[in-house]
Amino acid sequence: MPEAASDAFEPVRIGVVSVSDRASSGIYEDKGIPALQDWLGRALRNPITWETRLIPDEQDTISAALRELVDTAGCHLVLTTGGTGPAPRDVTPEATLAVADKLMPGFGEQMRTISLNFVPTAILSRQVAVVRGQALIINLPGQPKSIAETLQGLPQASPPVHGIFAAVPYCIDLIGGPYLETDPALCQAFRPKSAQRPARA
């Protein structure tokens, strides 16, 4: 996007957290952060400042990272990837709930609905979403393909399955964050008419 065009949109600071013992220790390359940045960079028209964290599956470490991203770095949206299954080291949901002011259960419900179109083991996923201050924090799956499916949904399905990101901009409006604008070719954000601003080219 040309810099002059991006100036018309409110800037947003986004935290992206990949939770993985093996990736954080260098055993293999992390693919969660690049996948999130790729999708969000294409979906949002706002200029984005990234705050990235690659950390192990340690509950206190995850909670500390989330608090720092919201309270100190000033992120209005924080997305995590990894650590949401039932295995002993999967503690991302617990770490997220520990920093929550409010729970947003609809996000987790819809993420599992989307994933169930592909695998029956989607019911093992424990992703949660919460509000902390003026920030929305969402746990996403660990696989890049699943990240995109969860965010974007299945628009070609019959009937179409809504992705979770369509609801993110209005949620951030409601908690006092910047006005996020999406590329409708990838993700059509939904807002009530009373909350919409005039469309810009």
pLDDT of residue 155 exceeding 90: no
Residue where the block lists tokens 């660990």: 142
For residue 201, what pLDDT band results from cuts at 50, 70 and 90?
low
**What does pLDDT average to over the chain?**
91
Query: What dotted CATH number matches 3-195?
Result: 3.40.980.10
pLDDT of residue 165 exceeding 90: yes
Q: What is the mean pLDDT of residues 181-190?
A: 92
pLDDT of residue 47 exceeding 70: yes
Provide CB contacts within 8 A for 55, sequence distance 6+: 17, 18, 19, 24, 61, 62, 65
Residue where the block lists tokens 């055993």: 27
Residue 71 — φ and ψ, nearest 5°? -80, -35
Percent of the chain with pLDDT over 70: 96
pLDDT of residue 79 exceeding 70: yes
pLDDT of residue 22 exceeding 90: no
* Residue 142 token pair: 């660990």
pLDDT of residue 1: 42
For residue 62, what pLDDT band results from cuts at 50, 70 and 90?
very high
Whole-model pTM: value is 0.93
Residue where the block lists tokens 């979770």: 164
Calpha distance 107→109 (Å, rounded): 5
Provide CB contacts within 8 A for 134, sequence distance 6+: 76, 175, 176, 177
Helix 144-152 to helix 105-115 angle, to the nearest 10 degrees? 120
Alpha-helical runs (H) found in 44-143: 59-67, 92-97, 105-115
What is the per-residue pLDDT across 82-127, written as a single tens digit (0 to 9) for each? Answer: 999 999 999 999 999 999 999 999 999 999 999 998 899 999 999 9
